[in-house]
Amino acid sequence: MRQVLLEVSDTIYHRFAEIIRSFPKNQVRIREEFTDDDFFSDQDDKAYQKALKELADGEAVSLDELEKELLKVNTMKLLCCILLFLTPGCFAQPQIKPPDSELHQAQSLRYEQEIRRLGMTGDWLVTRGYHATDTLVVNVTGIPLSHVGVYDSEIGQVIEAEGKGIHTTRLSEFVNKSYRLLLIRPKWSTSETRQKAIERARALIGKSYDFLGTIGFNFPSRYYCSELAIDIYKEWHGQSEHLPNVITPGELYLWGTILYDSQPRN
In the sheet with 256-261, reading across from the earlier edge strand, the strands are 165-170, 157-162, 147-152, 124-129, 178-186, 256-261
Cβ(61)–Cβ(69) under 8 Å? yes
263 pLDDT exceeds 60?
yes
Looking at every residue in the chain, the average pLDDT score rounds to 83
148 pLDDT exceeds 90?
yes
The CA distances from residue 252 to 137, 171, 192, 248, in Å, are 15, 20, 21, 7
Considering only residues 198 and 84, tell me which one the structure prediction assigns the higher pLDDT: 198
Give 251's DSSP letter: G
pLDDT value of position 87 = 46
Domain ranges of the chain: 10-54, 101-261
- Other C-beta atoms closer than 10 Å to the C-beta of 124 total 30
- Backbone angles phi and psi of 26, in degrees to 5: -80, -5
Longest dimension (CA), the chain: 94
Secondary structure (DSSP) of 141-203: H-SS--EEEEEETTTTEEEEEETTEEEEEEHHHHHHTEEEEEEEEETT--TTHHHHHHHHHHH
The 10s digit of each residue's pLDDT in 59-71 is: 656 666 655 655 5
- Other C-beta atoms closer than 10 Å to the C-beta of 114 total 17
Cβ(180)–Cβ(107) under 8 Å? no
Lowest mean pLDDT: which of 118-132, 153-167, 217-231? Answer: 217-231
Considering only residues 81 and 241, tell me which one the structure prediction assigns the higher pLDDT: 241
pLDDT band for 123, please (50, 70, 90 cuts): very high
pLDDT band for 55, please (50, 70, 90 cuts): low
pTM, entire model: 0.68
Topology (CATH) of 101-261:
endopeptidase fold (from Nostoc punctiforme) (3.90.1720)
21 pLDDT exceeds 80?
no
pLDDT value of position 140 = 86
176 pLDDT exceeds 80?
yes
For 153, counting Cβ atoms within 10 Å of its Cβ (0-12 exposed, 13-18 middle, 19+ buried), the class is middle
The 10s digit of each residue's pLDDT in 213-250 is: 888 888 878 999 999 999 999 999 988 888 898 999 99
